[in-house]
Amino acid sequence: MTWVYDFAEGSKDQKDLLGGKGANLAEMTNLGLPVPPGFTISTETCRAYLALKETGEGDEPEGLSEEVTEHLASLEEAMGKKLGDAEDPLLVSVRSGAKFSMPGMMETVLNVGLNDTSVGGLAARSDSERFAQDSYRRLLQMFGGTVLHVDSELFSDALDEAKRAKGTESDLDLDADDLRGVVETFKQIIKDQTGRDFPQDPREQMDLAIRAVFDSWNTDRARLYRRQERIPEDLGTAVNVQAMVFGNFGMDSGSGVAFTRDPASGAQGEYGDYLQNAQGEDVVAGIRNTVSLADMAEIDRQSHDDLMTIMTRLERHYRDMCDIEFTVERGKLWMLQTRVGKRTPEAAFRIAVHMVDEGMIQMDEAVLRVTGDQLAQLMFPRFDESAERTLLAKGMNASPGAAVGKAVFDSDTAVEWADRGEDVILVRKETNPDDLRGMVAARGILTSRGGKTSHAAVVARGMGRTCVCGAESLDVDHKAREFRVRDGETIREGDVISIDGTTGEVFAGAVPVADSVVVRHFEGEKIDDDLAQAVARIMAHADGARRLRVRTNADTPDDAARARRFGAQGIGLCRTEHMFLGERRELVERLIVAEDEAGVEAALDELLPLQRQDFTEILEAMDGLPVTIRLLDPPLHEFLPDLTDLSVEVALAEERGQVDEHARTLLTHVRRLHEQNPMLGLRGVRLGIQIPGLFRMQARAIAEAAADRMDAHGTPRPEIMVPLVASVRELEIVRAEIERQVAEVEEERGVKLDISIGTMIELPRAAFLANRIAKAADFFSFGTNDLTQMAWGFSRDDVEASFFSRYFEHGIFDVSPFESLDQLGVGGMVEMGTKKGRKTKPDLKVGVCGEHGGDPRSVHFFDEVGLTYVSCSPFRVPVARLEAGRSVL
């Protein structure tokens, strides 16, 4: 087993083994770029080390120490110095680097090898006592915090104190003597906090730092981050040991970060920050003001030009936007890190098409460079930037969107106010599982504590709720039901605020919300905007490539028309339940309380023309495209008054001596229809069999609507879908009735109608017996919402707010199975049902309706198991189109 590799031995394709940082350091080394030499201890080593630690069977993988010694020896030879040598010390950095970058999660220690003696050697060799002491205090600070777990604030406070004593704000004003004092203080802090002296042996420092990096893989925040980013738990991190170069040598030195394009907008041109006389993280830590790369050219033309040349070269080599860390040591440029850079969604789309135009990549690849999630983010409304806005605070952009509502400070109020139709923003110091109900009810969530991996942030993203977290300048007082802003303003319960989950900004009052340009483009508006054009080109290519068709779930003509503009190729699910609400509720009541056949027929006769009109309008909006109409699905009592409310009403009336016969009869029926488990009760096809007139009426309304559309020279393509079928016999019974209705209408109207009849597969039994059910079905549509409930045996409406957060904690699932398909279990049933159905009917059309149809991961799964189409809400249609394209490319 080999544990350690020289940079020269690796390549960028070995991220699994060497981690991202190590693989790219190797790649740059082999490109001949100026990279300080070093070696990488593999992720395998980390896994072996952690396994030993867990079982207690050993301290360290066998042979590791020897290999490190060997590689260190060749590094010392290459550098002509020995680690921590008293006269001329070699110093190294010990850097973490996992396969996927986990910013701020893991640890790095610089200047390893300095001690009370070698600091003198460094000072003599570099001719700068100040530089040597500065390097030493940095080692103590990083080593103390990272390896010895001393509270890092103790160090930063002590440093601040030294600056204060000197009467300065800048670390640059501290001279060698001041820094020597800081070093002594830091050593004392370490001693006080750990009961031990800072280890003086350079090799011991290095070994401890290596272990600290391995251990950092398992910290709580690293685990939480991985769960949230869906990074597997068992990868481990690599460790890079690299010769130090020094940006803190003086004003002819410095360190910086750069991007080969603007990571925010995607615009061409180099972007970056440079800080003179600085080391490591200084440049991003905001300790002093940085300068732009253009200004760096004024300071050090040669290093700047070298950097530009290297950046161009890296971008051509990686064929993508890169981000870079570099250091200048006395006028010489060194490359310390590169990787394909993270970018905002809008930058992702722009960069992808720019790179096609520059001949760097093909369109296929451009489509793979963007994701449905990014597209979804671009479709969120944004606050109108031209509107006048009063900024109250800025926190972290935890979950995108623009939310406006009244501030509330507890879950009960959030739920209560939301129930009466008000938009609310839940404001908390931080959230915990007790706040879930409030979070569900709110438009957005604002917290003053916690980062992007806090409870609020993780849960909000999971629910697609807008969230700004960690707005630390806000003083939230939930008892007083108010929060105070730093400048003294107070926002009380009921005051309107606006939060921007894309930027992290919090505004007073209602900021007007503007539609996204991408949505306006989808809506057919001609807009001169290069982002909209980039999206259009990518979508066109994805559409050309994809196999999977994309339909929409739409119950109204407006939704249908909008989805069609968004590229929907038909309706996969038109629910009919809302058509029975509002004024029509009374007709449903009459249907239910009818004493005899005649009463039932009379109620149905009144519903028929209304339903026909509903269907005609939807068929018109989707003219020429298939429209799958689902017959009535929910339990009937959903259309009736609440049992308790009605009982109370009747009792009170009777106490007053009033007798309301109607209310009394209704109550009898409501009692009769009341169910303990309505989701498992009289609904779907069972309703059709129990009250045959209902489905008959709906089938006739659909057939008549189709005939009307034909009279109007349209091309209606209705498909009738029967919900909640478990047995082929159920479907046969209902199907016979539907066919009779269609035949009658054809006869009456003298037309030939083309109406297929299919079923939802949303019960495990149906998936299991799909080969039999297919005999009576022209098509299948997997109702993955119900199928998920029935497969897991839990109700969506209840569980998400009750025990799901525990399930996430325990890793039972990493995302709600209602949000992203449980591919193993529920997906297994989809796959089996499809296979079995097509065994009976090889050409069986199979779709999926339910939220999963618009979820990127699920779309890929549905494509892979060969479904004909997915159907999703109108706003997810472009997302599904893009992902269906990405799935085949």
Binding site for ligand ADP (CB under 6 A): 36, 93, 95, 108, 110, 242-245, 280-281, 325, 327, 336-337
Quickly list H helices, 769-876. Answer: 770-773, 784-792, 796-799, 804-809, 826-840, 856-864
Between 249 and 383, whose beta carbon lies closer to ligand ADP?
249
Q: Cα–Cα distance between 189 and 180 in angstroms, integer?
A: 14
Cα torsion 299, 301, 303, 309 to 10°: value is: 140
Q: Name every residue whose Cβ is closer than 8 Å to that of residue 595 and which is 6 or more positions away in sequence.
A: none
Give the 3-state secondary structure of 19-82. HHHHHHHHHHHHCCCCCCCEEEECHHHHHHHHHHHHHCCCCCCCCHHHHHHHHHHHHHHHHCCE
Q: Write out the binding residues for Mg ion, residues 744-763 only, by CB under 5 A.
A: 762
**Are 573 and 582 spatial neighbours (Cβ–Cβ below 8 Å)?**
no
The nearest distance, CB 240 to ligand ADP, in angstroms, is 7
The nearest distance, CB 238 to ligand ADP, in angstroms, is 11
Identify the three-state secondary structure at position 553.
strand
Phi-psi region of 149 (alpha: psi -120 to 50; beta: other; left: phi over 0): left
Residues paired with residue 275 on neighbouring β-strands, in sequence order: 255
Six-digit token string for 61: 């993988």
What does 24 bind: ligand ADP, Mg ion, none (CB cut-off 5 to 8 Å by kind)? none
What does 783 bind: Mg ion, ligand ADP, none (CB cut-off 5 to 8 Å by kind)? Mg ion
Q: Cα–Cα distance between 288 and 187 in angstroms, integer?
A: 25
Residues paired with residue 482 on neighbouring β-strands, in sequence order: 477, 492
* Residue in 574, 849, 852, 872 annotated catalytic: 849
What does 786 bind: ligand ADP, Mg ion, none (CB cut-off 5 to 8 Å by kind)? Mg ion
**Are 283 and 255 spatial neighbours (Cβ–Cβ below 8 Å)?**
yes
Between 280 and 853, whose beta carbon lies closer to ligand ADP?
280
Q: Cα–Cα distance between 355 and 360 in angstroms, integer?
A: 5
Cα torsion 812, 815, 819, 820 to 10°: value is: -90
Between 205 and 816, whose beta carbon lies closer to ligand ADP?
205
User: Is 786 a residue that touches Mg ion (CB under 5 A)?
Assistant: yes
Between 178 and 786, whose beta carbon lies closer to Mg ion?
786
Count CA within 13 A, CB hemisphere, residue 81: 19
Between 110 and 722, whose beta carbon lies closer to ligand ADP?
110
What does 95 bind: Mg ion, ligand ADP, none (CB cut-off 5 to 8 Å by kind)? ligand ADP
Between 260 and 337, whose beta carbon lies closer to ligand ADP?
337
What does 273 bind: ligand ADP, Mg ion, none (CB cut-off 5 to 8 Å by kind)? none
Q: Cα–Cα distance between 80 and 833 in angstroms, integer?
A: 68
Q: Cα–Cα distance between 683 and 634 in angstroms, integer?
A: 5
User: Is 216 a residue that touches Mg ion (CB under 5 A)?
Assistant: no
Packed helices 585-593 and 597-621: angle between N→C axes, nearest 10 degrees: 150
Is 455 annotated as catalytic? Answer: yes
Binding mask 302-341 for Mg ion (x = CB under 5 A): -----------------------------------x----
**Are 593 and 572 spatial neighbours (Cβ–Cβ below 8 Å)?**
no
Q: Cα–Cα distance between 390 and 507 in angstroms, integer?
A: 5
The nearest distance, CB 232 to ligand ADP, in angstroms, is 19
Q: Name every residue whose Cβ is closer than 8 Å to that of residue 803 and which is 6 or more positions away in sequence.
A: none
Q: Cα–Cα distance between 625 and 563 in angstroms, integer?
A: 12
Handedness of CA 220, 112, 245, 64 (dihedral sign): negative
Residues paired with residue 506 on neighbouring β-strands, in sequence order: 393, 499
What does 281 bind: ligand ADP, Mg ion, none (CB cut-off 5 to 8 Å by kind)? ligand ADP
What does 36 bind: ligand ADP, Mg ion, none (CB cut-off 5 to 8 Å by kind)? ligand ADP
Between 389 and 768, whose beta carbon lies closer to Mg ion?
768
What does 670 bind: ligand ADP, Mg ion, none (CB cut-off 5 to 8 Å by kind)? none
What does 244 bind: ligand ADP, Mg ion, none (CB cut-off 5 to 8 Å by kind)? ligand ADP
Handedness of CA 108, 110, 115, 118 (dihedral sign): positive
The nearest distance, CB 16 to ligand ADP, in angstroms, is 18
- Region binding Mg ion by CB under 5 A among candidate stretches 365-373, 375-383, 535-543, 780-788: 780-788
What does 245 bind: Mg ion, ligand ADP, none (CB cut-off 5 to 8 Å by kind)? ligand ADP
The nearest distance, CB 376 to Mg ion, in angstroms, is 24
Spatial CA neighbour of 538 closest among 700, 673, 369, 387: 369
The nearest distance, CB 786 to Mg ion, in angstroms, is 4
Instruction: Indicate the residue whose CB is closest to Mg ion.
Output: 786
The nearest distance, CB 96 to ligand ADP, in angstroms, is 6
The nearest distance, CB 516 to Mg ion, in angstroms, is 31
Between 337 and 374, whose beta carbon lies closer to Mg ion?
337
Between 353 and 777, whose beta carbon lies closer to Mg ion?
777
**The amino acid at 588:** V
The nearest distance, CB 30 to ligand ADP, in angstroms, is 18
Between 275 and 427, whose beta carbon lies closer to ligand ADP?
275
Q: Cα–Cα distance between 74 and 286 in angstroms, integer?
A: 37
What does 555 bind: Mg ion, ligand ADP, none (CB cut-off 5 to 8 Å by kind)? none
End-to-end CA distance of the chain: 37
The nearest distance, CB 507 to ligand ADP, in angstroms, is 33
* Residue in 71, 304, 354, 455 annotated catalytic: 455
**Are 93 and 109 spatial neighbours (Cβ–Cβ below 8 Å)?**
yes
Number of shown-chain residues binding Mg ion (CB under 5 A):
4
Six-digit token string for 279: 């080391």
**Are 872 and 853 spatial neighbours (Cβ–Cβ below 8 Å)?**
yes
Q: Which of 10, 783, 817, 874 binds Mg ion (CB under 5 A)?
A: 783
The nearest distance, CB 285 to ligand ADP, in angstroms, is 9
Q: Name every residue whose Cβ is closer than 8 Å to that of residue 215 and which is 6 or more positions away in sequence.
A: none
Between 202 and 635, whose beta carbon lies closer to Mg ion?
635
How far from chain centre, in Å, is Cα 364? Answer: 24
The nearest distance, CB 222 to ligand ADP, in angstroms, is 12
- Region binding Mg ion by CB under 5 A among candidate stretches 155-163, 675-683, 783-791, 859-867: 783-791
Is 578 annotated as catalytic? Answer: no
The nearest distance, CB 148 to ligand ADP, in angstroms, is 18
Q: Cα–Cα distance between 367 and 539 in angstroms, integer?
A: 8
What does 477 bind: Mg ion, ligand ADP, none (CB cut-off 5 to 8 Å by kind)? none
Cα torsion 743, 749, 750, 752 to 10°: value is: -50
What does 108 bind: Mg ion, ligand ADP, none (CB cut-off 5 to 8 Å by kind)? ligand ADP
Q: Cα–Cα distance between 432 and 376 in angstroms, integer?
A: 27
Between 236 and 635, whose beta carbon lies closer to ligand ADP?
236
Six-digit token string for 26: 């190797």
- Region binding Mg ion by CB under 5 A among candidate stretches 234-242, 343-351, 471-479, 778-786: 778-786
Between 45 and 553, whose beta carbon lies closer to ligand ADP?
45
Residues labelled as active-site residues: 455, 849
Can you give the binding site for Mg ion, defined by CB under 5 A?
337, 762, 783, 786
